Each structure stands twice: as C-alpha cells, then as structure tokens.
Chain A
Amino acid sequence: MKMIKNAAGRLVPDEINNQKQIPYKGVGKYKPTGHKYGPPIRSCADYPADGNKVVKNLREALERAGLKDGMTISTHHHFRDGDALTNMLFDTIHKMGVKNIRWFPSASFPVHSHLIKYLEDGTIHHIEGSMNGPLGRFASEGKMRGVGVLRSHGGRWQAIQDGEVHIDIAVIAAPTADPFGNATGDRGPAACGLLGFALADSIYADNVIVATDNLVPFPCIPWQIQGNNVDYVVEVPTLGDPSKIVSGTTRVTKSPDRLLIAEYIARFVDAAGFVKDGFSFQAGAGGINLAFLEFLKARMKEKGVKARFVRGGSTQYLVQMLEEGLTDFILDGQTFDLEGVRSMRENPNHVNTSPFTSYNFHGKGNFASMIDFVVLGATEVDLNFNGNVVTHSDGYLLHGIGGWQNCLTSKCTILAIPSFRDRIPVIVDEVTTLVGPGELIDVIVTERGIAINPNRKDLIKAVKGSGLPIKPIEQIFEEVNAIVGGKPAKPKLNKDKVVAVIKWVDGTVIDSVYQVEK
C-alpha cells in the first residue's frame, strides 16, 4: 500500500483490502466508462412455480444461498437503532462458523455494537458503510481487521452499479412481505416507511433474502421491493423495536441558540429569493432543521407561497406542510416518525424514493442537483468551507456520511451548525477529515453569524441589506477561538495506519481516517 496525494491535497492509499483505489480527482472529474455491473442470469424454472419461496429460517436461507468465507453481505438501516435482524443474522453466520465476511450495510447504529465481538473473532473482516458510535470507536482504535470504507447513500449505488462492490447475499428486513418476496415498509408492526436503501441490493445482489415478521398472502401491495428479484423469504418473530425504528414524535429543538440558527436560515433563504411559488428544498430531521421548517412555514403562509416538492427525510412537520397545501409533493428518502409512515401509506403525493432517484453518480441526472436549497449539518467546517461529517476533532470516526455528500450538489448548500459544542469549535483551520469539498458548500449559518462562500457573489449580493449578520468565516473562527481559549490541539493520529477511507460520490478516495493514538 502506497499513500498518494489526491486532488484535494489529502494523502490516500492506492490500495485497500486488496482492491485498487483511485484517488479523488476533483468534482465531476472522474467518469468511468464501460458497462454497468450485471447480476447473474437466473431462470424462473429454478424457482417454485407456486411462488412460495418461504424457507424454514435464516440459516437455511443462508445455506441455500451458498454462504461461505469471505463473502459480502449487505443489510439496510431502515430500522435504525431498533434493528434486531442484522444482529440475528450475524449470530447465525457465527454459529455456522463462517469467517471474514465483508459487511456492507447502508448504515450502522449503536445497536450494532453487538457485532464488535464478531469483528474481534474474525466473523466479520471489515465494514463498508457508516460506522456509528461504538463501531466507529472500535475502528478508530485500529481494531478492525480490514480497512473500513465510508460511502454516501448515492456512493453505495455507484459502487454497486460499477462493480466496485459485488454483493453475494443481500438480507432485506421487510415490515410486510408475501411468500413470493414482494415487500413493503409502509405497514406492519415494524413499519418504517420505505425500503429505498435496499433497492439496489435487491436488483444487483447474487442472492436476495427477504426477512419479515408480517408475512401476508400474495400479493403484498404495494411492493417497494419486487419479489421477482428475491430468492428466499424467511419469517422471523421480530425485526426489531418499533419505538427505535421510528420515533413516535420528532421534536423541534428548544435550545434558544439553535432556534436562532433556524430563524437565520429561514430569513436567509427568503432574503436570497428562494422562497417563491414552485420552489423546492430538503431539510432533514435534526432539531435545527425541524425548527427551520416552522420558521419557513410561517414565511410561506405570510407570502402565500407554495413549494412544488420537498425532499424528505419526512417527519410530522413535513407532513403538516403537505396536508396544509404548502407543498405539492414530498419525495421521501426515509421516514423518521409515525406520522411520516402514515402519510406515505395514505397520501399518494407523499412518494417513496430511493438513492437512485436523487443521489446516484451513475444515474442519468439526480433530483438532488435540482433542489433550490438544502440545509445540512457538519461536525467541522474549515476556513475553505470544506466539510467533515464523519470524524470529531479528536480524530474519532463516529458518524456515517448518509446522503450528505450527494446533497451538496443542490443550487444552494447551507450548513446549520452551532459555532462551538461545549468547548469544541466547529469552524477549524483545516478539517480533521475531508468529506465535502468547500467549492460545493455555499453558506454556513451559526448562532454568531452567517458566512457565505466568497465564490457565491450572487448570494452575497442577494442578501445585502437584509439585516442578517453576514460575516467572513474567519471572523466567526476568531470570535469562537477567543471564547474557547485558543485553537484546539490536533488529535494524535498514527499516520501509518489508515483505519478507513472516505469515498467521494464517484468512487474515488477523498480522504483517509487514521488510527487514534490513545
């Protein structure tokens, strides 16, 4: 393994886990050619004519799928921190004595700290997907056998479609399914809304297993996952804890400082001229984002303005907008609360989408780039507007990328961030890990002021005279450093030991994550 300097000036390995890597070349610069990856040819003659693909249990399904050492197994994060299936799956794999699995989740959650013992004993070789909380800590301390790979939601599609990741077995947790394998997420005891993150896997994996705790007679309507792509169906007693899958109620932040940030964003997008009939936006489900929605709604009502579509993460607040006629459609990527699930089930204008519609680099266009503005978060932003969402300033890998990188292509990308957390400044001289290049990040909104990327002269001009506290990013940086008692010390990292790489949306490597020295 050799470290190469990429176009962002970051050192990245040319090879990891015995796979050659391409260093980041710049935004939109790397465009592979050839044909997309295709799954193996199957024949219906090999499948039960009566459509009944139900097998006894997970173990039998895995055995029939030919599970063996070194395979790639994919799972999905629709059940978030309430997921029981993935843990059950690896318990089974462990009992079967299979080793060196490459786990390819669309995201992981603290509930998956159960799997640390399998990372330790070699059942799992490494993770390619977000490493949240305890798993990130485990990887950061250099304990994982292989090198982790973090991709955006769109990057996952890209990696599957261009053959970078070949999935041997996809295991899809389905809140409702029929014996043929048709499946949906919008109903059943573990209803989570939609199953978009599993869509690529269902199409491209060699073997597809659907597991459900709510088996209904054929046909399962609607089908978000098409049974014609499914090999086996397994009935399990439970998929997880519904209260942790979707929250009963998502809540707007009560913190006055975060409310101030939310209010500034609403004033900013209005001053910048985005809030007009037919506009579109995406705002996520964090506390600031939800508060922003409330401020935006008030402005929209006052001006009598209606959005054409809003991209979810949906919550009760977005559903209210739809039902009050403030938007024509919700194009939903994941559902965060019960109201979102209900609305998706009942309202045809609340549409379930997947990363394919919005985020995939190999798609013939993406919804994400058509959006007027998007409001995102970050763990760090630097003076060049580069963003980090995966590591903290202490060097620990603690979060996944989600759709964050993919959303940066919107017409105006806004990061909503407190200027510091406890004593830790969020604006730094250089990000610990580069996840999003500054050229795609337009506006930083903190409680101490708003910094606009100097490249966006149009935005700077548009909000002039708005009375908003527009400041150079350096000024906020200095202000915060004076409060916290100087710049934070850089983390002690072992630069010889790469524990994970960060992929850009096109599959190139944009940065490396290093082992944290204790």
Chain B
Amino acid sequence: MKVTAGRQGKTNRSDCYFELTSARSGGIKLKVQSKVESMYGESVRNLILEMCEFFEIKNLKIYLEDYGALPFTLAARFELAVKRLYSEIQKEYLPPFNPNSKYKTSKERFRRSRLYLPGNQPKLFINAGLHKPDGIILDLEDSVSPQEKDAAQLLVRNALRAVDFYGAERMVRINQLPKGLEDLKYVVPHNVHVILIPKCETADDVVAVRDEVNKIKKANKIRSKIYFMPIIESAKGVINAYEIASAADEVCAVAIGLEDYTADIGAQRTNEGKESFYARSALVNAAKAAGVQAIDTVFSDVNDMEALRQSVLEAKALGFDGKGCIHPRQIKVVHEAFAPTEEEIEKAKKIVAAFEEAKAKGLGVVSLGSKMIDPPVVKRALKTLEYLKQM
C-alpha cells in the first residue's frame, strides 16, 4: 500500500512531501531529495530513522522531497504519512517544547488584533509573531481543505510546541462542532491559550467544548486556564449572543464573522455595512453584558490600509475591542486605530487626576471644573491609561 503526505512541487518552500510504501521485508529504505542536502541531509535522515524506531516500524519504503522544511514540519508530515499508512498507530511523536513557548495568558489581556494562519501552511508560522499581533490563530477550520484536516491537526500540534510566537496569545480555531471536538486533543495539551469556536449558535456549543477541554486537561494534568472565543456567524447565534457569552467562565471574548452571517440572513455584504449593523451592535451589547470582550470580523482587502483604518475606527466607535487580521501588515494599522487619541488621553489624565484628588480628600464625588464625573467615566479613563501602560 502507498500513501502520501505534504505537498509536492518545486515551488513549495519550507515544506516537504512524503511517499510511503509498506513493505514486509527489506528494512527501512529511505530516499531523500533535499534542497538543503549538503547542510541538513544528515539531520533529515536521522530524524526520520529516529521516528521509525519510535513508531516501531521495521520495514518501509520512504521517499522524501524536502523543500527546506523545518524539523517540526518534517516530523508532522512524516507522522501523518505513517498514520495514513498504519491507522492503528496511536502514539504521538512530539517535538521538544520550545522553552520560549511556555508563557501564559489572562482573561483581560488586549485582543485588538488576531492574525489568522492557515493550519496547513507551515512557512507562515515561523515569523508570524515577529509582526507583534496580540494573538495568532492557527486555523484548523475554513483555511484547511477537508482532506487535509488530519495534516493540519499534527502540524498545529507541533507548531504549538516548537514555534516561538514571541508573546502573542496562542489561539487555535477548531472546526465547527461536533467535528471540532476531535481537534481538541491535538491542542489542549500543548499550551493553547484560547480556543475559537466557529459558527457557535448556542450556549450548549460552548459547554460541549468546555467539557471536552476539561476531560483532556484532567487526563494530561494541565492546570493552566484555557479560554474560549465563540465566533457568532448566524442569525440564531446573534439572538443567543448573551447566553453564549455567559455560558462559561472561560469565555474571554465573543467575535462576529460577517461572511457567513450575511449569507445566513440573505443579504449582500456591503462596504457601508448597514446589513450587519444590528448584528454587530447586538454582539457588542451581549459581550459587555456578560463582561467579556467584543471582537469584530476580519478585514479582507489586504491592499487597502486606509479602508482598514476606517473600518477599525468604526468598530471602535461601536464598542468593539478587537479586529481579525489575515495579513501581518494589517496589525500595525489595527493597533494604531484602536489606540486612544491624544484628546482621549489628555481627558483621561485630567479625570484620573481629579479622581485621585477626590480620593485623597475623602470626597465621595469627583468633579472636574464645574462638572461632576460619574464613576463609569472614571473607570473608562483608568482603562485608557492602563492601555497606554500596556503599550
């Protein structure tokens, strides 16, 4: 029997292609064609032989085309090929955990930008963190074709262990339930911070994910928190937004996905966005009522930075805390647009100063000039200054 894994073709970079043919005898026959033969040929062969030993494979014909794949990619592709050939193999070959990838997250941290990375394209993973998004999303859902879901699961698992995302929050978008529940065992044990639950329609979806996550956490003795970001992409989801946002303590934010939503309500998506105004506002309201962040949809025109800026300013005005990015160059624009303006900062400083003064004097009422300042206004001013501190 013969199986393949990975992508074949000289235009591939930082990836590889395996062909495995089962054999009853003859030992391990390994043929390698590598773009980096003289520099890493030996290291590539050693890894594959070590993995054969790990999976207790005695006889196998292996053909590899290597286009400069990094070790975590080579290992994921080979494990995939092995498992496609021998479906009974359950063992996992885990690359060493990068010491820089053990950091934690918190429920309140900023989530202004989140960068989507297609889960089956390893070359995009390595430098994603350098662009300093608040979060990176390794995507198992829409950017991965149905026949490559198993490939992306292994690749994302290895990436969570091996790749340094330089402090970005480590997110994974699983598949739509119930299939998405199958994805969890590939990510929960590997310091994932946030699980994105796509096409979330009811609180039950969130609960199902939570229960499965807890089961895996228990089995793997994981104590750190894993948060959820349900993505609402349907009319029904919008109606249930508050229930979804408050379905579990682990929900840190709710996001809206407008492509599917507009299709669901039978409207065309326009630049003006009248058709989604209700849904976006309803989502913000539900999120804030549940005490979580509201995250806006992705902006898909990667060449129009000015339109992106406008779109973020509009989202900010509606009450959103974050925006989805599909290209690293969008990140800076999103951060700039979410940042408080000079005017907002000045005002916040004055309000906080007045608040401190009132506190020092033991006054119950804060006033600025002749105007009385309500507690929520003080809170928002504190938040603005906190934002500056975190930047």
Contact = CB atoms under 8 A, between A and B. Distances in A.
A273 interface: no
B40 interface: yes
A257 interface: yes
Interface in B117-157: 126-127, 130-131
Nearest to B127: A257
Nearest to B74: A485
Contacts of B14: 422-423
B265 interface: no
B13 A256 contact: no
A483 to B, nearest CB: 6
- Which of B39, B127, B328 is the most central at the interface, judged by chain A CB atoms within 10 Å of its CB? B39
Contacts of B13: 422
Interface residues of A, number: 22
B67 interface: yes
Among B41, B42, B127, the most chain A Cβ lie within 10 Å of the Cβ of: B127
Given A259-B329, A448-B130, A483-B126, A489 B69 contact: no
**A423, A448, A488, most chain B CB atoms within 10 A:** A423
A421 B127 CA distance: 12
B328 A423 contact: no
Contact of B327 (A256, A485, A488): A256
Nearest to A422: B68
Interface residues of B, number: 25
For the residues of B in contact with A, the DSSP-based class is loop
Contacts of B98: 482
B70 A424 contact: no
Given A256-B327, A485-B43, A489-B42, A422 B130 contact: no
Interface in B30-81: 35-43, 67-71
Interface in A438-497: 447-448, 482-486, 488-489, 491-492
Interface string A386-419: 0000000111000000000000000000000000
A160 B252 CA distance: 71
A260 B70 CA distance: 22
Interface of A, helix, strand, loop or mixed by DSSP: loop
Given A423-B14, A448-B130, A394 B39 contact: yes
Contact of B38 (A257, A484, A485, A491): A491
B328 to A, nearest CB: 4
Interface in A279-304: none
Contact of B68 (A395, A424, A447, A489): A424
A423 B39 contact: yes
Contact of A424 (B36, B164, B329): B36
A395 B327 contact: no
B36 A422 contact: yes
B42 to A, nearest CB: 6
A482 B329 CA distance: 26
B329 A423 contact: no
Contacts of A421: 68
B127 A488 contact: no
A330 B328 CA distance: 33
A394 B38 contact: yes
Nearest to B14: A422
Nearest to B69: A423
Contacts of B35: 422
A484 B43 CA distance: 11
A256 B131 contact: yes
A489 B45 CA distance: 14
Contacts of A423: 14, 36, 39-40, 68-70
A446 to B, nearest CB: 10
Nearest to A487: B39
A39 B363 CA distance: 97
Contacts of A394: 36-39
A63 B98 CA distance: 69
A352 to B, nearest CB: 35
**Considering residues B36, B37, B327, which has the most beta carbons from chain A within 10 angstroms of its beta carbon?**
B36
B38 A486 contact: no
Contacts of A489: 38-43
A393 B69 CA distance: 17
A485 B71 contact: yes
Given A422-B35, A422-B67, A422-B68, A488 B130 contact: no
Contacts of B164: 483
A482 B328 CA distance: 23
Given A395-B38, A422-B14, A422-B36, A484 B127 contact: no
B6 to A, nearest CB: 14
B36 A260 contact: no
Contacts of A491: 38-39
Nearest to A446: B130
A423 B72 CA distance: 12
A148 B218 CA distance: 67
Nearest to A486: B43
Interface string A128-172: 000000000000000000000000000000000000000000000
A448 B39 CA distance: 22
B231 to A, nearest CB: 24
B127 A447 contact: yes
A492 B38 contact: yes
Nearest to B327: A256
A423 B69 CA distance: 6
Contacts of B70: 423, 483-485
B71 A488 contact: no
Contacts of B39: 393-394, 423-424, 488-489, 491
Contacts of A492: 38
B93 to A, nearest CB: 15
Contacts of B36: 394, 422-424, 488
B329 A488 contact: no
A182 B281 CA distance: 73
A256 B329 contact: yes
Interface string B321-337: 00000011100000000
Interface core residue of A256, A395, A484, A492 (most chain B CB under 10 Å) = A256
A257 B131 CA distance: 8
B359 to A, nearest CB: 34
Nearest to B34: A423
Interface string B1-26: 00000000000011000000000000
Interface string B224-258: 00000000000000000000000000000000000
A394 B39 CA distance: 7
Interface in B307-344: 327-329
A424 to B, nearest CB: 6
A256 B40 contact: no
Contact of B40 (A395, A447, A448, A485): A485
B389 to A, nearest CB: 16
Contacts of A395: 38
A491 B39 CA distance: 7
A421 B42 CA distance: 19
Contacts of A257: 127, 130, 328
Contact of B130 (A260, A424, A484, A485): A260
Interface string A84-128: 000000000000000000000000000000000000000000000
Contacts of B43: 485-486, 489
Q: Which 9 A-B pairs have the closest CB atoms?
A: A422-B68, A488-B39, A256-B328, A423-B68, A485-B71, A394-B38, A257-B127, A423-B36, A491-B38
Given A485-B43, A485-B71, A488-B36, 15 more contacts: A256-B131, A259-B329, A260-B130, A393-B38, A394-B39, A422-B68, A423-B39, A423-B68, A424-B68, A447-B127, A448-B130, A484-B71, A485-B40, A489-B42, A489-B43
9 contacts: A256-B127, A256-B327, A257-B127, A394-B39, A422-B68, A483-B164, A484-B40, A486-B43, A491-B39
Interface of A: 256-257, 259-260, 393-395, 421-424, 447-448, 482-486, 488-489, 491-492
Interface of B: 13-14, 35-43, 67-71, 98, 126-127, 130-131, 164, 327-329
